[in-house]
C-alpha cells in the first residue's frame, strides 16, 4: 500500500539558500519547457516530446547564461519537464485547462525521485546537493521511500512529502448491508447530516475570520507597491489564510476518520460542486465547506479500513422526495427548512429527510455510481 507522509523541515540559513535555488531553477525549467512547446507548435504545428526537452536541457545547462543550473539536482530539473508533460496530457484528455507559467510568489515545490535518506533517530532528512536538514517527525513509517516533494509555503515554511511503499495491505471490503449503512447529506447551515438524525455543525472558519482578512487586505492597499511594508502586510494575510486552511483540514481529517471507523458503508450524493460554485450567493459558503476535499478523504480512508463508499446520481431528488411515501415536492425552495408531505401529512427536517433518501436510493442499483470506477465490484458487494 502506498501512503504519503508530510513533515516540516527546519533548514539553516545556508540550506534555505540552496532550497530556494532549487525552487527557482525548477520553476525556470518548467517555464522554459512550456515556452519551447508553445513556440514549436506556433511555428511548425509540431509537439516536442518530453525526451527531446530533456536532451535540450543538457545544452541549456552548458550555456554560459544558464550554467548555474549545474548547481541543482539534475533529477529535480528533469521532473519539472515530466510534470509539464503530464499537465499537457491532462489538458488534451481531461480538458483540465492549458498549462500556465509558474509564478514566484505562490506555493513552490520540487521533486526528488531518488537518493533521499530518512534518519528517524537523529531527526534528519538528507537531500541530494543540499545535505542533512533537521526535521520534526510527527510519526514514523515502515517501508521503501519512492519519491519526495519539497515545498515552500507563502509564509516561508518548508515541508517534505514522502511517498512510501508500506508493507501494509488493503483490507478486504465487507459485504454491503443496509442495516450497517449510513446516509449522509452535506449542507451549509450544518456541515453534515446523517440518516440517524445526527448533525455536525459547520465551523465556517473562513466566515469567522473574514472581518480580520478584510482589515488586513485594506492595509495592503495603502502600502506602496514593492516596499518592505507591503511585503510584511502580504505576509500577514498569507499567515491568516494558512491558519484557516489548517483549521479546516484538521476538522475534515478528524470527522472523516470518525465516520469511516464507525460505519461499514457510507452513502453519499455525487455533488456537482463546480457547478454549484457558479451561484454567486452561495459560492463563498460552499468553498468554505470544502465538500470535494472531504469526499476525497472518505474515499481513500475507506480503502485503508475496508469500508465502502456508495454514491448516488446527482440528479436523484433526495431533498424533494418524502422518505415515507415517495411524494415529490417540485416547488421546494432552499429557504424551506421543513419538508411537509401533502400525501401522508408527515413533517420532518429537510436535511434529515434528504439523508434518509440518500441511504434508500443507494440500494437501488440503477442509481449507483462507483467512486473508484469499479461498478462491477460494487454490485458484487451489494449481492446483486
Please give the pLDDT value at position 79. Answer: 94
CB of 133 within 8 A of CB of 10? yes
From 85, 288, 351, 360, active-site residue = 351
**What integer pLDDT is reported at residue 384 of this predicted model?**
47
At a CB cut-off of 8 Å and minimum separation 6, what does 286 contact?
Answer: 188, 273, 276, 277, 279
Reported as a pLDDT band with limits 50, 70 and 90, residue 32 is: very high
36 pLDDT exceeds 60?
Answer: yes
β-pairing, 2-10 with 158-165? antiparallel
- Per-residue pLDDT at 168: 86
* Residue in 269, 288, 299, 360 annotated catalytic: 269
Q: Count CB atoms within 10 A of the CB of residue 279.
A: 11
Q: pTM value? A: 0.86
Q: Which of 79, 85, 185, 360 is catalytic?
A: 185
pLDDT per position as a tens digit, 236-278 = 999 999 999 999 999 999 999 999 999 888 999 888 888 888 8
Q: Known catalytic residue: 185?
A: yes
With 90 as the cut, is the pLDDT of residue 97 above it? no
Tell me, what's the pLDDT at 372? 46
pLDDT at 344 over 60: yes
> In angstroms, how far is CA 211 from the centroid of its own chain?
26
Q: Is the pLDDT of residue 121 over 80?
A: yes
Alpha-carbon span 164 to 162, nearest angstrom: 6
Q: Which of 21-35, 234-248, 362-376 has the least mean pLDDT?
A: 362-376
CA 33, CA 101: separation in Å to the nearest integer?
Answer: 10
Amino acid at each position: 500500500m502506498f501512503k504519503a507522509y508530510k513533515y516540516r523541515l527546519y533548514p539553516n540559513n545556508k540550506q534555505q539558500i540552496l532550497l530556494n535555488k532549487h525552487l527557482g531553477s525548477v520553476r525556470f525549467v518548467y517555464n522554459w519547457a512550456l515556452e519551447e512547446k508553445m513556440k514549436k507548435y506556433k511555428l511548425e504545428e509540431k509537439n516536442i516530446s518530453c525526451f527531446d526537452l530533456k536532451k535540450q536541457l543538457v545544452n541549456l545547462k552548458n550555456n554560459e547564461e544558464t550554467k548555474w543550473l549545474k548547481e541543482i539536482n539534475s533529477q529535480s530539473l528533469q521532473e519539472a519537464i515530466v510534470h509539464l508533460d503530464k499537465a499537457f496530457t491532462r489538458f488534451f484528455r481531461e480538458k483540465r485547462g492549458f498549462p500556465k507559467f509558474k509564478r514566484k510568489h505562490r506555493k513552490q515545490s520540487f521533486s526528488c525521485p531518488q537518493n533521499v535518506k530518512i534518519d528517524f533517530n537523529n531527526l534528519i532528512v538528507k537531500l541530494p546537493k543540499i545535505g542533512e536538514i533537521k526535521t520534526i517527525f510527527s510519526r514514523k513509517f515502515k517501508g521503501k521511500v519512492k519519491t519526495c516533494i519539497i515545498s515552500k509555503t507563502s509564509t516561508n515554511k518548508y515541508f517534505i512529502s514522502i511517498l512510501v511503499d508500506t508493507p501494509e495491505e488493503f483490507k478486504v471490503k465487507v459485504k454491503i448491508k443496509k442495516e450497517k449503512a449510513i446516509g449522509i447529506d452535506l449542507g451549509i447551515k450544518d456541515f453534515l447530516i446523517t440518516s440517524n438524525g445526527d448533525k455536525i455543525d459547520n465551523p465556517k472558519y473562513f466566515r469567522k475570520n473574514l472581518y480580520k482578512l478584510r482589515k488586513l487586505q485594506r492595509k495592503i492597499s495603502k502600502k506602496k507597491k514593492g516596499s518592505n511594508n507591503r511585503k510584511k502586510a502580504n505576509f500577514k494575510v498569507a499567515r491568516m489564510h494558512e491558519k484557516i486552511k489548517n483549521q479546516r483540514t484538521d476538522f475534515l481529517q478528524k470527522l472523516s476518520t470518525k465516520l469511516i471507523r464507525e460505519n461499514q458503508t457510507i452513502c453519499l450524493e455525487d455533488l456537482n460542486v463546480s457547478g454549484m460554485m457558479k451561484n454567486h450567493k452561495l459560492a463563498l459558503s460552499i468553498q468554505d465547506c470544502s465538500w470535494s476535499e472531504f469526499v476525497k478523504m472518505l474515499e481513500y480512508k475507506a480503502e485503508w479500513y475496508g469500508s465502502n463508499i456508495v454514491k448516488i446520481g446527482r440528479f436523484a431528488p433526495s431533498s424533494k422526495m418524502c422518505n415515507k411515501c415517495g411524494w415529490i415536492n417540485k416547488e421546494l425552495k432552499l429557504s424551506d427548512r421543513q419538508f411537509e408531505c401533502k400525501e401522508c401529512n408527515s413533517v420532518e427536517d429537510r436535511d434529515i429527510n434528504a439523508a434518509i433518501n440518500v441511504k434508500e436510493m443507494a440500494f437501488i442499483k440503477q442509481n449507483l455510481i462507483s467512486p473508484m470506477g469499479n461498478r462491477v465490484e460494487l454490485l458484487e458487494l451489494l449481492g446483486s
